Amino acid sequence: MTLRNLFFLTCSLFFVHCTVSAAANSAEANRPKGYNAVVAYADGFVAAGSEGRIDRISKAGAVIKSEKFAGIEFNALVAHEQTIIAAGEKGIMVISSNNDGFKPIDSGTDKTIHTLALFNDKIIAGTDQGELLVGTENGSFNKIPLALKGNIVSLSANSSVCYGVTDEGEIIHSKDGVQWEILNFNALYAGYYKPCSFTRVLAVDSRIAVAGKKDDGSPVLFFSTQGNVWTDRLLDYTNDERQMNSPTETLNDIYYYYPEDLYFLACNKGIMMQIPSCSHCNKLIPIGTDDLRCMAFNVNVLLFAGSNYSIKAVDM
């Protein structure tokens, strides 16, 4: 390759990088402000999101107290006993104990943190570029770089294993929070399932659920019992005219309601989906117009939070 060709190639790659970065920044800037994460805490909830906002919310859905960290987008929350940790852009991480105000702690990274999970008495954070942070509430975190193509966008743990997913269709899991195994879902199921980008994972003791979207934009939900074999769950539902329809809304969060063996999906455009054990009994229920980005359960209330700081409390 000549020096002249190498120069033009370098310029082309730089232009592509700048174009992609600008497009990503533009998409982020155009995203409606609102809540990105919610957790149960005490007899209510805590939600966090845009404008550095962290709100304490009653079980009726009323904001009781609000704190702000200017210039920060919070993406994730985790609560344990009297402690709450929030994390987000530029590796920001803040902690509150015993209902005190939030104080910054050192996460050890400047990458955007998308998700938090509590597993084996460890705080695990998923970030951009396939990097995990594993540490404790005192702010001592170790980096675990993984050979992933995508960003770790969701983590969830049951009593024995922690799972994570990326926006490039990868599934990771660990039994100790330190050693992780990687499953490239799109490569494993090439020709069987369409390529997927994942948005959320939920690990309960009996099953792991992964939500996302296919490359054509349609939503998908996969189930697995051991994390080795994954089955596509039918999402079609019967509308008010008794016609079968397929949902089109993005699936943003998953909750499992043990008493009725029922999954709830939080979707864009104010849509809540109910996914029971019967694959022909799915329900699509509009509960608002704003995107439902996250949900948490406490005191017989399933609370949805989302864009425009919307809050919807559903009595169970």
Q: pLDDT tens digits, residue range 245-256? A: 899 999 999 999
Report, as an integer, the average pLDDT of 191-200. Answer: 96
166 Cα distance to chain centroid: 10
Whole-number pLDDT of residue 29: 54
Alpha-carbon span 275 to 262, nearest angstrom: 6
Strands 301-306 and 292-298, by their bridges, are antiparallel
Residue type at position 153: V
Q: What share of the chain in percent tops pLDDT 70?
A: 91
Q: Which residues pair with 239 in a beta bridge?
A: none
Alpha-carbon span 209 to 156, nearest angstrom: 10
Alpha-carbon span 21 to 119, nearest angstrom: 34
Per-residue model confidence as pLDDT tens digits over 56-91: 999 999 999 999 999 999 999 999 989 999 999 999
Per-residue model confidence as pLDDT tens digits over 14-37: 333 333 333 344 445 577 899 999
316, pLDDT greater than 50? yes
* Sequence-distant (≥ 6) Cβ neighbours of residue 149 within 8 angstroms: 130, 166, 168, 170
Per-residue model confidence as pLDDT tens digits over 82-138: 999 999 999 999 999 988 899 999 999 999 999 999 999 999 999 999 999 999 877
Report, as an integer, the average pLDDT of 175-181. Answer: 95
Kindly indicate the confidence band of residue 223, based on its pLDDT and cuts at 50, 70 and 90. Answer: very high
Per-residue model confidence as pLDDT tens digits over 281-303: 999 999 999 999 999 999 899 99
